[in-house]
């Protein structure tokens, strides 16, 4: 089975849409300067609220970590030398193992400040997940809040807020699974989108972040998960020692049991009459390039019509010559994601399928309204184990030029954990 990397197309797609950090950073900057802070840090683990539940990490997958990273970069980019932003890797080390309750303790903040060489202000972010509320055309799915804390006395000195309509790319990165569109002999059809939810602004086949916002709100939530939908042309499974690991349903998620030391492969296949582009993420890290990327600007593979492929590891290189490091289940602090400072959302394997270009899609209107929001949101480690890098091997890949990436056809996430944890989750869910 072959691996084909469509690099030309990957390198010509637009950059990921910026996260909604500019508004938040702008609101905080004045307070930072007014209070005379010289060194500030951003808490690398944002608080996530969903209903009555509140925890570090939470329901947003790697999206929350990505927001924290981009907020720190935006504060640094616009500091104009008036203050310094502490490196996020130092912040992760300083706050490792700190609980939600510790954030309200002055002694905990002072101890973290000492570890990073002094810190005047700490930015603590909160993301409120509103996806489970009744849908509404004008209601954002995510509320974003950032509070500036004076480390000396743990008092709050400023608060900044904004809201965000989610895009399909955001939701896929957060772990949502659905099939939206499907190629048939007669052309592309919508299978997972409400045909007429917003008559004036909704275009089911149009590309771009504004259209993805409307399309996200049009997803039909009563359809089967694509992993078990016999009509979905795309398949993904996890293979260990040549055998597919069985699914274990836990509420609306599908888990596979993987034990420490297991090496595994990701098997994908297409029964579609047309080729697709495919981005694969493990723990929020793109396996092609071994870097964290948002799906709206990720490198991808070319999956031919009817093709079956098996991905055995992290793939890096250029010029047709690559190396591959096998996927191996490792302790949290030894994972690839943690090694890049992003180890808060382990245990996710996500596939996003796209059309190859826009050929064959209905033509959108020449002019489309702009998004009402100009920016797109593209505890200690919650899971004990994630995916590390194992044995390395050489690999030759064909680099294939082609059309730009088109629209999302489907997204699916498989969650993984040791069997004891999966059993505990089933019991907690009453299964």
Q: Is residue 86 part of a domain?
A: yes
Per-residue pLDDT tens digits for 179-204? 999 999 999 999 999 877 655 678 89
Q: Is residue 111 part of a domain?
A: yes
**97-120: burial string, b at 16+ Cβ within 10 Å, e else:** ebeeeebeeeebbeebbeebeebb
Q: 383 and 251: one domain?
A: yes
Q: Is residue 399 part of a domain?
A: yes
Whole-number Å distance between alpha carbons of 373 and 20: 9
pLDDT at residue 373 in the model: 31
Residues in the chain: 431
pLDDT at residue 411 in the model: 98
Dihedrals phi, psi of 82, to nearest 5 degrees: -80, -20
Whole-number Å distance between alpha carbons of 90 and 41: 9
Q: 104 and 199: one domain?
A: no
Q: Is 87 exposed, middle or buried (0-12, 13-18, 19+ CB in 10 A)?
A: middle
Q: Decide if 331 contacts 366 (C-beta within 8 A).
A: no
Interacting residues of 245 by C-beta distance below 8 A, sequence separation 6+: 237, 238, 239, 256, 257, 258, 264
pLDDT at residue 60 in the model: 65
Range of the domain at 66: 20-165
**CATH number for the domain harbouring residue 140:** 3.40.50.10610
Name the domain boundary from 134, 165, 196.
Answer: 165
Q: Decide if 117 contacts 40 (C-beta within 8 A).
A: no
pLDDT tops 80 at residue 80: yes
DSSP state of 203: -
Q: Decide if 49 contacts 128 (C-beta within 8 A).
A: yes
Name the domain boundary from 120, 150, 165.
Answer: 165
Q: 151 and 43: one domain?
A: yes
pLDDT at residue 54 in the model: 74
Residue 253: how many other CB atoms lie within 10 Å: 18
Structure tokens at 4: 């084909």
Q: 134 and 239: one domain?
A: no
Is the pTM higher than 0.85? The answer reads no
Tell me which residue of 30, 21, 56, 18 sits closest to 121, measured CA to CA. Answer: 30
Q: 97 and 117: one domain?
A: yes
Q: Is residue 212 part of a domain?
A: yes
Dihedrals phi, psi of 172, to nearest 5 degrees: -60, -40
Q: 294 and 369: one domain?
A: yes
pLDDT at residue 200 in the model: 66
Tell me which residue of 216, 210, 181 sits closest to 197, measured CA to CA. Answer: 216
Q: Decide if 353 contacts 288 (C-beta within 8 A).
A: no
Element (H, E) at 337: helix 336-339
Q: 65 and 52: one domain?
A: yes
Looking at the chain, the whole-number percentage of residues with pLDDT higher than 70 is: 85
Q: Find the range with the poorest average confidence among 133-137, 407-411, 415-419.
A: 133-137
Q: Decide if 205 contacts 183 (C-beta within 8 A).
A: no
DSSP state of 334: G
Q: 81 and 181: one domain?
A: no
Residue with tokens 């509070």: 147
Domain total for the chain? 2
pLDDT tops 70 at residue 384: no
| Separation in Å, CA 327 to CA 93, 157, 300 | 25, 45, 18
Average pLDDT over residues 239-267: 94
Q: Decide if 320 contacts 382 (C-beta within 8 A).
A: no
Average pLDDT over residues 357-374: 63
Per-residue pLDDT tens digits for 95-153? 887 888 888 888 989 999 999 999 999 999 888 888 776 655 557 787 888 999 999 98
Q: At what angle do helices 88-95 and 106-115 cross, to 10 degrees?
A: 130
Whole-number Å distance between alpha carbons of 356 and 359: 8
Tell me which residue of 169, 93, 88 sits closest to 380, measured CA to CA. Answer: 93
Name the domain boundary from 165, 189, 223.
Answer: 165
Q: 197 and 263: one domain?
A: yes
pLDDT at residue 376 in the model: 25
Using 50, 70 and 90 to split pLDDT, how confident is the model at 391? confident
pLDDT at residue 183 in the model: 97
Q: 336 and 284: one domain?
A: yes
Coil, strand or helix at 112: helix
Using 50, 70 and 90 to split pLDDT, how confident is the model at 277? very high
pLDDT at residue 263 in the model: 96
Q: 200 and 146: one domain?
A: no
Per-residue pLDDT tens digits for 337-355? 877 766 666 899 999 999 9
Q: Decide if 160 contacts 24 (C-beta within 8 A).
A: yes
pLDDT tops 50 at residue 283: yes
Q: Decide if 244 contacts 317 (C-beta within 8 A).
A: no
Q: Is residue 390 part of a domain?
A: yes
Dihedrals phi, psi of 49, to nearest 5 degrees: -110, 135
Q: 159 and 188: one domain?
A: no
Residue with tokens 């030309």: 8
Whole-number Å distance between alpha carbons of 262 and 329: 5
Q: Is residue 5 part of a domain?
A: no
Q: Is residue 138 part of a domain?
A: yes
Q: Is residue 194 part of a domain?
A: yes
Top-ranked range on mean pLDDT: pick from 13-22, 288-297, 367-376: 288-297
Choose between 196 and 225: higher pLDDT. Answer: 225
| Separation in Å, CA 115 to CA 32, 94, 100, 104, 269 | 21, 6, 19, 18, 48
Residue 336: how many other CB atoms lie within 10 Å: 26
Tell me which residue of 185, 67, 188 sits closest to 126, measured CA to CA. Answer: 67
């Amino acid at each position: 089975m072959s691996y084909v990397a469509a690099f030309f197309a990957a390198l010509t797609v637009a950059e990921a849409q910026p996260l909604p950090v500019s508004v938040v950073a702008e609101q905080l900057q004045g307070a930072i300067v007014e209070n005379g802070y010289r060194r500030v840090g951003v808490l690398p683990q944002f608080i996530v609220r969903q209903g009555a539940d509140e925890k570090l990490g939470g329901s947003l997958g790697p999206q929350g970590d990505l927001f924290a990273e981009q907020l720190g970069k935006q504060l640094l980019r616009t500091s104009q030398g008036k203050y310094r932003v502490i490196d996020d890797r130092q912040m992760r080390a300083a706050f490792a193992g700190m609980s939600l309750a510790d954030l309200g303790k002055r002694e905990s903040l002072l101890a973290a400040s000492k570890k990073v060489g002094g810190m005047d202000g700490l930015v603590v972010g909160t993301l409120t997940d509103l996806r489970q509320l009744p849908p509404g055309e004008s209601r954002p799915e995510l509320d974003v809040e950032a509070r500036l804390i004076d480390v000396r006395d743990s008092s709050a000195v400023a608060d900044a807020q904004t809201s965000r309509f989610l895009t399909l790319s955001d939701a896929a990165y957060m772990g949502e699974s659905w099939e939206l569109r499907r190629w048939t002999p007669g052309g592309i059809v919508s299978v997972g989108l409400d045909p007429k939810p917003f008559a004036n602004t909704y275009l089911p086949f149009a590309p771009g972040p504004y259209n993805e916002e409307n399309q996200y709100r049009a997803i039909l939530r009563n359809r089967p998960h694509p992993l078990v939908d016999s009509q979905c042309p795309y398949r993904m499974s996890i293979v260990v020692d040549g055998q597919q690991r069985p699914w274990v349903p836990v509420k609306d998620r599908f888990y596979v049991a993987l034990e420490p030391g297991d090496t595994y492969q990701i098997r994908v296949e297409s029964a579609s009459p047309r080729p697709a582009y495919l981005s694969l993420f493990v723990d929020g890290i793109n396996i092609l390039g071994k870097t964290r990327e948002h799906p709206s600007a990720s490198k991808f593979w070319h999956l031919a019509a009817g093709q079956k492929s098996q991905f055995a590891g992290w793939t890096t290189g250029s010029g047709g010559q690559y190396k591959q490091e096998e996927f191996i289940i490792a302790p949290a602090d030894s994972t690839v994601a943690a090694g890049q400072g992003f180890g808060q959302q382990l245990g996710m394997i996500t596939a996003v399928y796209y059309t190859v270009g826009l050929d064959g899609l209905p033509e959108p209107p020449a002019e489309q309204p702009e998004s009402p929001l100009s920016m797109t949101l593209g505890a200690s480690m919650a899971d004990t184990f994630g995916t590390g890098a194992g044995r390395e091997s050489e690999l030759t890949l064909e680099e294939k030029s082609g059309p730009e990436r088109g629209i999302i056809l489907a997204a699916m996430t498989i969650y993984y954990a040791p069997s004891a944890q999966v059993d505990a989750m089933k019991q907690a869910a009453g299964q």
